[in-house]
Chains A and B, each alone.
Chain A
Amino acid sequence: MLLTFTDCKIRFLLLFSRQGKLRLQKWFTPMTEREKKKITRDMTTMVLSRQPRSCNFLHWKDLKIIYKRYASLYFCLAIENGENELIALEVIHRYVELLDKYFGNVCELDIIFNFEKAYFILDEFLMGGEIQETSKQMVNRSIEASDMLQEGDNSEWFELELFG
């Protein structure tokens, strides 16, 4: 069997607002810009048109779409067909928890204005479409350690914090 990079379990993560505005996009498999745009459009229309009291899962092509709404923001995760939907739902939830821990009562505006931080947190949590770190403390420690670099080059102290 020839394995390709498309084998990763999570294909992409999109965050968009109730108005369908994209807030964050992470693609775990290579895609062309056109594909990305098409998928984003499909996702927003599909997810936003869901009736209340429907389940949080959708089929799209050969993928499962797992979405969840947090206040005004939709989190939308695409996983392979064989994957477990409930775990995906908890992946989203854990990410929200991480964001919440970092921003402190996170809201959509935090993500709009600091989307790069949201990406950093995501990169510590998911790597190449797989869960990397499930411990909340660890993710935050590594993010904060990196953040503090900006204050000057006293990184050693924070390394102590992070790796000690």
Chain B
Amino acid sequence: MSDVVEKTLTALPGLLSLDSQPGSNKLSSNSKLRNLIRGITELTSKHEEEKLIQRELTSIKEQVSSPNTSMRQMKELMVRAIYCEMLGYEASFSYIHAIKLAQQGTALEKRVGYLAVSLFLNESHELLLLLVNTVLKDLQSTNLIEVCMALTVVGQMFPKDMIPAILPLVEEKLNHPKEIIRRKAVLALYKFYLIAPNQVQHIHNKFRKALCDKDPGVMTASLHIYLQLIEENPEGYKDLTTSFVTILKQVVGGKLPMDFNYHSVPAPWLQIQLLRILCLLGKNDQSTSEIMYEVLDESLRRAEINHNITYAILFECVKCIYTIHPKSELLEKAAKCIGNFVLSPKINLKYLGLKALTYVVQQDPKLALQHQMTIIECLDHPDLIIKRETLELLFRITNAQNVTVIVDKMLEFLRINKDDYTTIDLVGKTMSTVFSVGGDTMQPDIPNSFLKLLSEGFDSVEEDRKLRLFAVDSYVSLLQGEPGKLPQRFLQVISWVLGEYSCLRADLEVDTVLRLLAKLLDMKTTSSETKSWVLMAMTKLCEGGAGVSVARGVSETYSSSLDTVLRQRAQELQHLSQDPELRARVLPRHTGLEPLEVDSSLSFLDGFVSEALAAGAAPYKPPHQRQEELAQAKSLSLEPYGLSLPLSMSSCSITDRQSPTLLSISSGLSGNSNDLSHKGGSSSLRLDGVKRVWGREGYLAQREPAEESAHVEVPSTLRSPSQQGRADGSHSQTPTHTPTPELEKQQLASSLFVGLGSHSSVCLMGKSEPTPQRFRRKARSPASSSGASENISHSLVSPPITVDTLVCNNLLDSHITSEPDVSPLEQTPPLSQGLAAANGSCDEELPDSDVKGSSPSLIGDDALVAADPAPHEEPPKDLLLSSYLPAELSGLSHSEITPLSSDQSLDLSACHVQKEGDLVLVVFIYNSSDSDIQQILLELDSEELEVSCECDGAVGGARGHSVAVCQYSLSVKRPSVHVELVGTVSYQFPVGTPQSGQFSYKLPLSSFIRPLTLSTEEYGTMWLDFSHDTKQNLTLISDDPEPLAASLSVLKNKLQLHVVEIIGMEGIVACRLLQDQPCLMHCRLHAGTLAVWLRSPVPDLPDCLMYFCQRALQEH
């Protein structure tokens, strides 16, 4: 690392003056371009840049049109023109010259010409026609490189109409002896197929030849075409299934040349392509699917390397398995695989896991149940993208029972979301689903808040408009379909939206809308409440013209209706439609957005009321009072029959008393008032599912699978861990302590995932019978395969706490976008360091860029303790130094303070302090000289560690004979038995030259180990999910009557492990590597030794931990 010359923009002038850049004799030195680029970087304002570029463009223009410009110069001019275009300035005058350069230049100039053409023009540009002849000529060239160039440009863009002109030449290239030419030709034909499929119809058999090409590259290229062809017509290519399967088998088996490996995964892109093809072929086709089961199984099995690309393959594999004709064994493996995604601490994988769940959840809703806690976590994820994906998933599992909670969550999301596209997409798409699924069982506040959202809108007017338009459009098309199937509640929303906003859509005739609405009125299924909504909408809409006649018809029909509300609305409609003046006053247009002031005390009626009272009218009694009186009156009169009085009567009055307001709301609803009053009208979470899934003492549902699997269970002994996961149900008796936020999540979970236990309950329209889950599950489990039922019990014990801690691992997933503060100096460290090395190593951030950039003034006082001059000459000893430990660390155990480096003026020592959730490295800098040091820079770097500085890098100064302290927080990137930090310290006295020194600090991985508290069940579930493991027999502490317990307690004390449970000869232990990388340990007494089995999701962690366990036991 250190020998890499960092090229920074500050060093730019120097670089530019050099003719040869370091290590780049192959790079052309286009000095004018360099000048231009340098000129631009020096500018500060956009205006200046514009001026400079315009000048540049003028000069380019002059030169390109000059007859004296050579092709070589033209090449440079084109590069400059490309640059200007990239900055956003048009250089259209150069397009024609780009074509000329491609035509007339020698090979290298031609290449730039083609490049410029492909960047400047697109398929439809007329100038492209001028390129056809050049392409024709180059395709026939004897120079292979020219042929390649021509094919490359053809594969990117070619005028559709001119394809026939070159098609024969390209076809011919399919037989070319060189594979690169064949490959490019295949891709060019693919392109032709995309833009003009009928032109290449006749060469389909040649595609087959390409598929059988001996060169894997050409074969891979041909798969693009096949994927497309099969997508359009899967039936036509079933005969190729065996070939694709064979190819995939060979690829997976590592039969391709090493050259095609990507991070030691054989030809991943090819694998993915094949999996997609198989997916298309096997869909709804059992016999074809059967051909591929074996290879899919193998793909799942082989994809073991922990790398993104492997996960990409797995994802496609899972998708394929769930798309083709199902095979339970594969489904089970795929489900497990999804579990790995979902539970992964890496956020990208988690995202994909959610995506996969979304894909499969319709077929297998219990999978969502299995991961409910993770889903809940994701719902609260700070990253909106994750949140959105989670919502997408939730919508797939929406049913009548959980719709309220899901919609609540969605509204919550919409409130924080800024992106209008997403908003419109989500609101439009999902509200419709939600309304049609949840429909009538929804609480009234859901549609209300949706309408409120629509009317109050967001911050931007434009966004509101789009959303409203979207709603109007989709609802009109819904009404044009079969509105009879829609729930009443949804119809009411539709009416309101159309009434308010259909005027936004200018091309939509009011007439059309009115007729659609009138159609609703005529339907028998429409409830009278809905009808009144419809009538109100019509009132808003009918305005002169054709509207009046429709309105008249409708109002005549309903003005004699038995329903008073309808009659009222009909009257309103009639009067308002006939009296435009009154209408304008009552319903002014385009003011709907202003909130109306409502006098809820009805004070304007005071006069009327007092008059009426004076005239002898009875005073008003609120409805519940009336009900009560009525009930009392009744109970009095019915007293003789008291014994036989139905209980329902009294219970009814109780309900009424509880929710007086609700009664009036629900009275107009169609037949579901029972349901509503039962829910009590609260807008909080609906918890009716809670009893079934969660109880005060924990997860009740665990008992059910326990009963189910009881016959395979001997609860008293601890089973081997592989069985553990499935057998967990037996431990449900152990109450799990759940903190309050956890409980909230669990409640949320239970309300979200209610009704997911069986297929039948999903997508039930409206009134699904809330059958308790256990009955359903029992009913169906005999039917499902034994594997599936095991899966259920497995799913039900998914441990909330485990998931919780795993989610926290996101924090560790630093290589995704870990972003140290942007340094004020513009730096360009190498884009990738040791790219060839390991996965993801290239996205390591350079901690030093952070350190250098910060200025001393940024240093927080708390992180830097500059002490008074020490009274003696000696550098402070350990004991004294430890007194400089920052106050918040002083109570904690710290390692011995070890000297790092020393020179005539600075002594560096360090120790590490173990905090509960952190490991802090404290560096003591002792200035042993007499003079003060103004600024000291400390830079730390490590291959295995993530170093984050709590004092912004620079240490500031240290006065003579004083100690400055700097803290770093460390976390492990890559486990290794010992992890090492290297650092440099640089400083300067007020007078004198800069000094620097290097040091290193080594610490054992065990200092990063912390106990992980979990229950046996959680342990069991996690155990199966971890892929990295190691086994070893260790020496047992044999001088104790209870050797196992003694050994474990040694491990516990020395390594801070958490002993989960000891049963008989076996014990299970758990720990985590900071921050939250779990590692599980299973110990068993075996022939006088301790058989230890370690498992973790983190590679190398089990091995390292094994080493420490071994040492701990030996040293005892």
Question: How many angstroms between the C-alpha atoms of A56 and B843 in the bound complex?
Answer: 12
B176's closest neighbor in chain A, by CB? A163
Query: How many of chain B's residues touch chain A, expressed as a range?
Result: 35 or more
Those of B1064-1105 within 8 Å (CB) of chain A: none
> B4–A115 contact, CB under 8 A?
no
Smallest CB–CB gap between A12 and chain B, Å? 12
* Residue from A27, A90, A153 having most chain B Cβ neighbours under 10 A: A90
- The answer to whether B156 and A3 touch across the interface, beta carbons within 8 angstroms, is no
Stretch from B241-249, B260-268, B936-944 that touches the partner: B260-268
Residue from A105, A110, A146 within 8 A of B107 (CB atoms):
A146
- B47-90 vs A, Cβ < 8 Å mask (1 yes, 0 no): 00000000000000000000000000000000100110011101
Counting CB contacts under 8 A, is B716 at the interface?
no
Q: In the complex, which residues of chain B have a beta carbon less than 8 angstroms from the beta carbon of A27?
A: 122
Select one of B90, B106, B156, B355 contacting A33, CB under 8 A: B90
Q: A130 vs B221: C-alpha distance in the bound complex, in angstroms?
A: 9
Question: In the complex, what residues of B have CB within 8 A of residue A120's CB?
Answer: 111, 115
A96 to B27, CA, bound (A): 18
Q: Is there a chain A Cβ closer than 8 Å to B813's Cβ? A: yes
Residue numbers in A under 8 Å from B26 (CB-CB): 144, 147
**A30–B124 contact, CB under 8 A?**
yes
B842 and A135 within 8 A (CB)? no
Measured between alpha carbons, how far is A120 from B148 in the docked complex, in Å? 12
A84–B315 touching, CB < 8 Å: yes
Whole-angstrom distance between the alpha carbons of A31 and B120 in the complex? 11
Contact with A along B338-359 (1 / 0, CB 8 A): 0000000001111110010000
Asked whether any CB of chain A lies closer than 8 Å to the CB of B811, the reply is: yes
Partner of A70, one of B180, B190, B193, B842: B842
Q: Which residues 233-267 in B have Cβ within 8 Å of A in the complex?
A: 259-260, 262, 267
Q: Which of A87, A130, A162 is the one whose CB lies under 8 Å from B180? A: A162
B816 at the interface (CB under 8 A from A): yes
For the complex, give the distance between the alpha carbons of A113 and B352 in Å: 37
Identity of the chain B residue whose Cβ is nearest the Cβ of A159 in the assembled complex: B144
Question: Cα distance A30–B312 when bound, in Å?
Answer: 29
Contact at A116–B316, with CB atoms within 8 Å?
Answer: no
Contact residues in A for B355 (Cβ distance below 8 Å) = 85
Known contacts A68-B843, A112-B37: A100-B108 contact under CB 8 Å: no
B112: interface (CB < 8 Å): yes
**8 Å CB interface, B350-409 against A:** 350-352, 355, 382-383, 385-386, 388
- From B821-829, B958-966, B1012-1020, give the one contacting chain A: B821-829
C-alpha spacing A112/B36, complex, angstroms: 11
Q: How far is the CA of A54 from the CA of B183 in the complex (A)?
A: 38
Does B758 lie at the interface of the complex (its beta carbon under 8 Å from any beta carbon of A)?
no
Q: How large is the interface on A (under 10, 10 to 19, 20 to 34, 35 or more residues)?
A: 35 or more
Determine which residue in A7, A25, A53, A147 has the highest number of CB atoms from chain B within 10 A of its CB, and name it.
A53
Q: Given known contacts A130-B190, A162-B180, is B143 in contact with A155 (CB within 8 Å)?
A: yes
A132 and chain B: residue at smallest CB distance:
B187
Tell me whether A85 and B180 are in contact (CB under 8 A): no
Q: Please, how many angstroms separate the alpha-carbon atoms of A54 and B830 in the complex?
A: 23
B217 within 8 A of A: yes
Q: Which residues of B are found within 8 Å of A116, using beta-carbon distances?
A: 79, 82, 112, 115
- Which residues does chain B contribute within 8 Å of A4, judged by CB atoms? 194-195
Q: Is B687 an interface residue (CB 8 A)?
A: no
Known: A55-B386, A71-B830, A127-B155. A119 touches B183 (CB 8 A): no
The answer on a CB contact under 8 Å between B217 and A133 is yes
User: Which residues does chain B contribute within 8 Å of A56, judged by CB atoms?
Assistant: 348, 816-817
Docked-complex contact B4 and A105, CB < 8 angstroms? yes
Provide 15 A-B residue pairs closer than 8 Å at the C-beta atoms, listed in order of the A residue. A1-B232, A22-B86, A24-B86, A53-B382, A53-B811, A55-B385, A58-B385, A71-B828, A86-B309, A87-B272, A90-B312, A109-B15, A112-B37, A128-B194, A134-B268
12 further interface pairs, Cβ-Cβ under 8 Å (given A132-B221, A138-B259): A5-B123, A25-B86, A55-B351, A56-B817, A103-B24, A104-B23, A105-B832, A109-B7, A113-B21, A113-B34, A119-B115, A135-B260
Q: Give me the 8 closest cross-chain CB pairs, A-B, nearest first.
A: A86-B312, A30-B122, A54-B383, A149-B107, A70-B831, A108-B828, A52-B819, A55-B347
- B-side residues, CB < 8 A to A, are 4, 7, 9, 12, 15, 21, 23-24, 26-28, 33-34, 37, 79, 82-83, 86-88, 90, 106-108, 111-112, 115, 118-119, 122-124, 143-145, 148-149, 152, 155-156, 178, 180, 183-184, 187, 190-191, 193-195, 197, 217, 220-221, 224, 228, 232, 259-260, 262, 267-270, 272, 308-309, 311-312, 315-316, 347-352, 355, 382-383, 385-386, 388, 419, 421-422, 810-811, 813-814, 816-819, 822, 826-833, 835-836, 842-843, 846
